[in-house]
A = this chain, B = another copy of it.
């Protein structure tokens, strides 16, 4: 199957297809990394309203199309998530690397917690990348 367009993705998730939504989702897909709301606005060429962008992001997150992370920073970052994954972030230069490493939350819930199931998890690693380790 070929990759779905932003419009199709929105429709698949039962969302009205508006141009802001298409643009935001498209920008997120292009970015291929976590990006903050304001940076997203810049990427869109300033034509979109910031409140609308925030509302759009909330919607996309609620549908699971986009993953929201609150790093140590105080602003939220949003990433289009075609496939679940995590990041390793360099605390010196901000370089971000994707990692396939994950954890089996289902098994884990039984072994290590009293919850029957775990719906989601946040996992981020911090270190100094090889370039910054002189």
Contacts and interface: CB of A to CB of B under 8 A. Distances in A.
B88 A113 contact: yes
Q: Which of A70, A117, A124 has the most CB of B within 10 A?
A: A70
Interface of A: 68, 70-74, 76, 88, 90-91, 97, 99-101, 103, 105, 108-109, 111-130, 133
A97 B113 contact: yes
5 contacts: A113-B125, A115-B125, A116-B127, A118-B126, A120-B125
Contacts of A70: 70-74
B100 A103 contact: no
B116 A130 contact: yes
10 tightest CB-CB pairs across the interface, nearest first? A70-B70, A118-B127, A101-B112, A115-B127, A122-B124, A121-B125, A88-B113, A99-B112, A120-B126, A118-B125
